[in-house]
């Protein structure tokens, strides 16, 4: 029990240190880190599906390369290093995934294709959208700058929400949030986690004035709500496949999907929210 706790603690500290360090250091370390995370998470997803979904056999290497390329393509587009033609190879890869199933003569061709597409939509696209949060164009100088605060804030809100939900839920949690999928989650814990995240948003608003206090609070609320749905989505996936963890790459914490499940829905929702702010 103690050794498992120590293992979890060491892995957790290293995980947070690497993530925060690479986001804050510069745009290059940010790009390398999340390209690798996207590729590893998609590969893990492919392994999980191939081993647990009956008759399914997705091409793990191709979908992994697709996720990595999509991240770099969106990054190149966001920093004005490339125009929209950079997405053509990615579209060709998607076409290959569809057309190749015609010739493989497998009974599960449609499932292979569906899970391959899901890997890109569910994992590849959300990580690629981190670039939209990280890079900003200055119209006055026609230049692009890297700002680590928005992508980092997403993870800060998720981490604090998880911690707050665990503490509050352990103390007073009585009403199950979604018992069919995640029996341990409670409404009290989820609300407590949301309050902690919104409290953190007020602190960020004080130091980073790129948004007003209420806009920061809105971002925190969006991240918490969609992060919870992201967590539940992965829990549903694991229940359907009858597994406890998505992988073993992170000792004491499971797999990459287990660590980034909340972010996979929170990131696209955050991007939509920030764009919506510009419409009013």
Instruction: Read off the DSSP letter of residue 140.
Output: T
Confidence of residue 1 (pLDDT cuts 50, 70, 90): low
Could you report how far apart the first and last alpha carbons of the chain are, in Å?
53
Q: Are strands 176-178 and 135-138 parallel, antiparallel or unpaired?
A: unpaired
Asked if residue 204 has pLDDT above 90, the reply is yes
- What pTM was computed for the model? 0.94
- The mean per-residue pLDDT over the stretch 89-114 comes to 90
Asked if residue 231 has pLDDT above 70, the reply is yes
Instruction: Tell me the percentage of the chain whose pLDDT exceeds 70.
Output: 98
DSSP lists the bridge partners of residue 136 as 145
pLDDT of residue 233: 94
pLDDT of residue 256: 94
CA 125 to chain centre: 9
Specify the residue for token string 């499971």: 254
Rounded-to-integer distance, Cα 35 and Cα 251, Å: 21
Ranking 47-56, 104-113, 192-201, 270-279 by mean pLDDT, the lowest is 104-113
DSSP lists the bridge partners of residue 135 as 146
Confidence of residue 183 (pLDDT cuts 50, 70, 90): confident
pLDDT of residue 140: 64
Look at residue 184 and give its three-state secondary structure. Answer: strand
Q: Which two tokens stand for residue 62?
A: 């191709």
Asked if residue 2 has pLDDT above 80, the reply is no
Reported residue count of the chain is 280
- The mean per-residue pLDDT over the stretch 194-206 comes to 97
Residue 230 and residue 263 in contact, taking contact as beta carbons nearer than 8 Å: yes
Ranking 140-144, 163-167, 237-241, 275-279 by mean pLDDT, the lowest is 140-144
Rounded-to-integer distance, Cα 243 and Cα 47, Å: 12
Decide which of 173 and 140 is more confident.
173
């Amino acid at each position: 029990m103690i050794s498992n706790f120590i293992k979890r603690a060491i892995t957790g500290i290293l995980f947070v240190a690497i993530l925060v360090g690479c986001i804050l250091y510069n745009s290059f370390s940010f790009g390398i880190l999340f390209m690798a995370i996207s590729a590893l998470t998609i590969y893990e997803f492919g392994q999980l599906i191939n081993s647990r979904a009956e008759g399914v056999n997705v091409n793990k290497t191709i979908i992994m390369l697709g996720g990595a390329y999509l991240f770099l393509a969106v990054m190149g587009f966001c920093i004005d290093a490339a125009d929209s033609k950079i997405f053509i190879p990615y579209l060709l890869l998607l076409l290959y995934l569809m057309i190749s199933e015609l010739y493989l003569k497998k009974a599960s061709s449609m499932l292979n294709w569906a899970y391959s597409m899901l890997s890109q939509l569910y994992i590849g696209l959300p990580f690629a959208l981190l670039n939209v949060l990280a890079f900003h164009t200055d119209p006055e100088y026609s230049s692009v700058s890297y700002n680590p605060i928005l992508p980092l804030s997403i993870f800060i809100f998720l981490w604090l929400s998880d911690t707050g939900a665990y503490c509050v839920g352990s103390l007073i949690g009585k009403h199950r949030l979604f018992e069919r999928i995640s029996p341990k989650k409670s409404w009290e814990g989820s609300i407590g986690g949301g309050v902690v995240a919104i409290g953190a948003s007020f602190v960020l608003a004080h130091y980073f004035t790129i948004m007003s206090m209420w806009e920061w609070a809105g971002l925190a609320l969006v991240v918490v709500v969609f992060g919870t749905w992201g967590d539940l989505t992965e829990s549903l996936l694991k229940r359907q496949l009858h597994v406890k963890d998505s992988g073993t790459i992170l000792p004491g914490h499971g797999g990459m999907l287990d660590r980034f499940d909340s972010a996979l829905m929170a990131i696209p929702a955050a991007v939509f929210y920030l764009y919506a702010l510009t419409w009013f």
